[in-house]
Structure 1
């Protein structure tokens, strides 16, 4: 199985790269310079490149939401206006820290700069643990600074004063069964042995028998198996939670059943959106979405779907291959009314039902559309 670069490492790589640049950087340069994005764009695969671009857009938004002052700037090269990203060092510092007693509140003193940051014991414990972990990250460009911050926090705050209440962890239903399936799949992957299982599909609601040569396991909000489905003679993606009666091929246990193709890339699946992760169905559901202007420009820039039609008013219709309906509907809803499903009819109906559920949850009234 291919090694996955974690989101934390990807964020740190992006931050380190932008901090090292004095001028705004075009997104094309970022795609080539940051390892996670560069790995996805190598080889000229347009679909993988589009997925990497969407991954960058999500990272950018999440970093900003986390308080990282990632700026978008316009600049000119040879008379052509360009859009670039930067992270000014002057905006990127840790303010003074003070630990408050539990339950005590006080506004920070802004009369002297830089500003104070007041932390409750719980917040201080979180900061302490975060700095300790960041300092141990491999190849982290600011490891020395993180270790220095850790030493200061350890001296001023005292680890024993940061002890919090015990946390109760409860496994969700089905965890034991899922772990057993993952063990069987992992052992089979290491030995290159086929597995057989009953698979519960989502499009037609049928349970079918599958015989699969597994190529890799990955996690994307849930566990998935990628492999060659001998029953369908095609590469498929299966959600592990939908498997029943999982059994490895027990014949010739020391003899591999197959070889993973040399050109197989598990990381290509890690970059897909949730709705693109297959459910092992015969064919993905084709959905068409109308993007109103200017959302149509962002959809084109981010490589969302495949262009079907451009309209005179600047809007566009784009086609998507949907393997999981609910994640796709939730994504369309995040477009805040700037995107609407035009087909097929059953998907429009499912969208209407989801909108009604959300509206009823918050006691509102949905608009007709």
Structure 2
């Protein structure tokens, strides 16, 4: 049996023992009742007993890190004369919320799982959740495919087959989708364990790939791509990396149960969501100044595009942008149909004009 399976079985035995106890239990009781600990604990070799005690401490800390709330508590025995330390696992904290559809009848008090919190879903909410899970389970390179399908099946059982979408959707993976999935697995493991990662990265503007050392802060799926948000150690700054441009992802295996870093308390992954395509990337940002003609200037201000640099008497406005991907930025400006003009840098201005000429030539060719 592999060490991984041995540890998993040990964890399950420990959880099973604690969750079945109504009052806290001492470490000695745990040693006697969890099979993986018992044999070494019963020896007279103090080294072996100390070793299995350390094993329990590691297991307890690792389970807590995975969200299993093993509680350490102190209580008195012998009519309050003696205080001892014990451990417990509250069922109320351990189980997931109990889901119930609104149209279902309340279960009897005897049937109702009193230890579980309850989340009430309307049929429309449950239907929306089922649709979302169904779509997520078919996304290209989705790393939680098994979990999404399992949750979908559970909701489908409650909703009934007639409530589910009868039309199957066809999704085609992008080229390289399988490679992206293979990179996501070690990245997500590193994120959960707070371990540093190394990889080679193909930036947009660099001719050669560069080696990166990053502390993962979050993984984001948006606009059809996965991105790693993390602290770039060499650049001492938060950067966003497209997973599809990574190679040779390696996780720090030293001290696997000890985090390499802590995510800053003021870090918010939400601050890095919903960004425009030109804002996603790792290259040093290019600062571009764009003139928006009136009334497009009002639209740009209302939607929070760029930072205001200058307001002009005719109602137009100059706004500054930090651009990390030039092509999406130029395509966006071109879609504004001449109501936005690049003022600087000159190289970006020329690139926009060149792109406009290409589009005009393409339409002229189609018309002929």
Q: TM-score, normalised by structure 1?
A: 0.53
Rounded to whole Å, the distance in 1 between the matches of 2:296 and 2:247 is 42
> Counterparts of 1:309-348 in structure 2 under 5 Å?
309-348=310-349
Other-structure match for 2:252: 249
Q: Which runs of 5+ in 1 are unaligned?
A: 1-131, 139-153
How far residue 206 of structure 1 moved from its aligned partner, in angstroms, is 3.5
Residues 1:220 and 2:222 are matched in the alignment? yes
Rounded to whole Å, the distance in 1 between the matches of 2:365 and 2:339 is 20
- Tell me how large the CA RMSD over aligned residues is: 2.7
Rounded to whole Å, the distance in 1 between the matches of 2:243 and 2:357 is 30
Rounded to whole Å, the distance in 1 between the matches of 2:217 and 2:270 is 12
- Alpha-carbon spacing, 1:247–1:338, altered in 2? closer, same or farther (3 Å): same
- Alpha-carbon spacing, 1:137–1:352, altered in 2? closer, same or farther (3 Å): same
Other-structure match for 2:193: 191
| 1:226/1:235 contact within 8 Å kept | yes
Task: Please identify runs of 4+ aligned residues in structure 1 that moved more than 3 A.
Answer: 132-135, 166-169
Other-structure match for 1:29: none
| 1:220/1:274 contact within 8 Å kept | no
Residues 1:353 and 2:349 are matched in the alignment? no
| 1:201/1:207 contact within 8 Å kept | yes
Rounded to whole Å, the distance in 2 between the matches of 1:219 and 1:357 is 32
| Equivalent of residue 239 in structure 2, options 236, 239, 242 | 236
Cα offsets for 1:1-56 (capped at 9, x unmatched):
xxxxxxxxxxxxxxxxxxxxxxxxxxxxxxxxxxxxxxxxxxxxxxxxxxxxxxxx
Rounded to whole Å, the distance in 2 between the matches of 1:195 and 1:135 is 38
Other-structure match for 1:179: 181
How far residue 163 of structure 1 moved from its aligned partner, in angstroms, is 5.7
For CA contacts below 8 A with separation 6 or more, give which structure has more relative contact order.
1
| Equivalent of residue 202 in structure 1, options 201, 204, 212 | 204
> Counterparts of 1:1-369 in structure 2 under 5 Å?
136-137=127-128, 168-221=170-223, 222-277=225-280, 279-281=281-283, 283-363=284-364
How far residue 344 of structure 1 moved from its aligned partner, in angstroms, is 1.2
How far residue 225 of structure 1 moved from its aligned partner, in angstroms, is 0.8
Count how many residue pairs are aligned between Structure 1 and Structure 2: 213
How far residue 262 of structure 1 moved from its aligned partner, in angstroms, is 0.9
Rounded to whole Å, the distance in 1 between the matches of 2:351 and 2:125 is 43
How far residue 249 of structure 1 moved from its aligned partner, in angstroms, is 0.8
Rounded to whole Å, the distance in 1 between the matches of 2:124 and 2:173 is 25
Rounded to whole Å, the distance in 2 between the matches of 1:181 and 1:357 is 36
How far residue 134 of structure 1 moved from its aligned partner, in angstroms, is 5.5
